[in-house]
A and B are shown apart, each in its own frame.
Chain A
């Protein structure tokens, strides 16, 4: 992708190489070329909008910037296109107008930085609360993280059309474990349209990281982005910083990271299988699945000291070594797991009423899945053969062998089957990793992290890729840290998945993407009620369904 792109657009660009196969181009002149460039990239097969980063670079470059990062997962190449947006005229051409996957990114920079995307289809507020005043942009450098202005409450919800009525699902609903508000426009029980308002658990992580944390503190906040796939977030962050600072981590650390990432995937997928069974009323499947998951949690506790939120990652390696006798503990546990998982799967797939509820429900076509840049099991169930573990290898995945399950049906059942297959793959991966783990140190040695370097990295979390972007700053602090969780894209596709099905199916369809709201809603902002900046507490963490 990089070579072809340069041949076509090279002369107008300033190039900066971030890492092997990762380049950043800055558009110096002719902003009108920008849309053509994105069109050119996104029209290629196997490309996706990886993440988008808005930055306040007024201190260094005297303007704001937006950077669109694209990934070609077959060529394993990442391209970034940076566009400077001057303070006097804070607008840029919208990619959301031609590519749906960019809509939330552009609504986000509009909210947080006050940069307007011209031609954006849905310019409503996305992240900031309903009563946040107009014209106050919390991610700008001149906004202090503890400041909490008040405005009047107002949100322009869409009104139901064609004689449909509103069936509100959430912010509090028994099937949603975190607050999210789906306005289902229904005729009888059939859903004809959907409006979504979320970001109720928006916390302030990125601003906090900029305002008052150093590199090694951020990694613990990164782990607390999510209560389920937290380790994947901390690794993605560590990798981005390591890339920026050009740190090579020791082999043993790579393997330890792999082992824990797979343990995390196991527990997350087993959790999801249980929740899916529960939502269809099949509580026996739910309880059995969580009973197996409990053993995975115990294993994690023995290895790291914590059932969840392992606290093991550091920039440059891992904090603690795995003792040798624990290796046999892992093998013992996964040997037991293998039989129990097979039993569970046999039981689930033999329960006709469960299969009937999942089959043909919430279908997402491959085209739609690509339009929204969906990731993880959701994308793989819709026929997109993409997994960052294989396509953008990190940790020790390039030295281990595994299959990436892909299904074509795109319904809830296919998503369940992808996860079931992945559970089995994870067990095999764990076995291989324990077998192949080399000796040696677990931390790399490095000096001060240089300023104004950039790194971008992704980790395949249980729900899809966690993409973290980092720009290093001065005095041991991060200048910009951008977290993109897979639910950020997957959640946008839910509207398309709900249309045409009934309100009885809605909880299962929403759950089928395995949504994680607190992952998606991280970023910035302070507690409105107390008027204070809130330091993240466990109570606010996601218990993701």
Chain B
């Protein structure tokens, strides 16, 4: 089962993006491209030599670091009963690589002289200031209620309570935001800042970054799906159930995305701050034992 996870995590996300494009096209009364289009794009990009606007090592390394952190995130999540990488306290490591992903994007973007890249980096950082803590708070509620710091263990031992229901909703929200769907694709806004951190990347490096973004998106939603399904299922059945919940959440998110416009940075920050307040209240409720 873990082996299946090792195949699904890197290779399924671009295909899912293809499905998302098809769904969006249907909503917009269009034909849309083939569901393999995102894969075609990535494969084409991977075969192309990148044009480097700077000699900086950080610029060239950033896509690899981003891909590695995205893969680490995905591999730490349970597929069926177990995850590929697991150890006591892997929750902390998960949060760490999750942050490393954004850091890689920011460093890559800041290493070139381009005000669009810089604006993107600035936006990514600002969003991180709100949504990374929000994610930590949300995960913290689960850890507090289950008394564990291992993702797999937490997922298996969640029992329903008031704070847990709240935490589920909050996790769904953070997953949506961190998956970079509109209205929260602010750092990579194409019509505003030309995809921000991505704007100077090309060829292989751009392909890697796009792939990494897809895997991160997958990991965020898969985490939610795992927390929902694993408390009630085991083994192969759990994996099937995980996949179903994941797909449902993914399709709902895509639909919601296509019915919305992008937020401005300050508007997104306001939403995030509200999330943090709710998270804090939920933590108190959890601490009180509900």
A residues adjacent to B (C-beta < 8 A)? 165-168, 173-175, 186, 188-189, 277-288, 291, 351, 353-354, 356-357, 502-507
Contacts and interface: CB of A to CB of B under 8 A. Distances in A.
Given A173-B194, A189-B122, A284 B265 contact: no
B261 A281 contact: yes
A351 B194 contact: no
Contacts of B189: 281, 504
B151 interface: no
Nearest to A277: B261
A288 B115 CA distance: 33
Given A281-B182, A281-B185, A353-B183, A189 B263 contact: no
A133 to B, nearest CB: 33
Contacts of A502: 264-265
Interface residues of B, number: 29
Contacts of B274: none
A351 B122 contact: no
A357 B194 contact: no
Nearest to B264: A504
A356 B263 contact: yes
A357 B264 CA distance: 7
Contacts of A186: 115
B232 interface: no
Interface of B: 24, 27-30, 115-116, 119, 122-123, 182-183, 185-186, 189-194, 258-265, 267
Given A174-B191, A291-B29, A503-B193, A281 B262 contact: yes
A165 B122 CA distance: 15
Given A287-B29, A504-B189, A353 B261 contact: yes
Contact of A281 (B30, B115, B122, B191): B191
Contacts of A188: 122
A502 B260 CA distance: 20
B228 to A, nearest CB: 27
Given A288-B28, A503-B193, A353 B265 contact: no
Given A174-B190, A353-B183, A503-B119, A287 B260 contact: no
A356 B267 contact: yes
Contacts of A285: 261
A509 to B, nearest CB: 11
B192 A503 contact: yes
Contacts of B30: 287
Nearest to B186: A504
A165 B192 CA distance: 18
Nearest to A186: B115
B241 to A, nearest CB: 31
Contacts of A354: 260-261
24 contacts: A166-B115, A168-B115, A173-B194, A174-B194, A175-B192, A188-B122, A189-B122, A189-B123, A189-B265, A280-B262, A281-B260, A281-B262, A282-B182, A283-B28, A284-B28, A285-B261, A353-B260, A353-B261, A354-B260, A356-B263, A356-B267, A357-B263, A357-B264, A504-B264
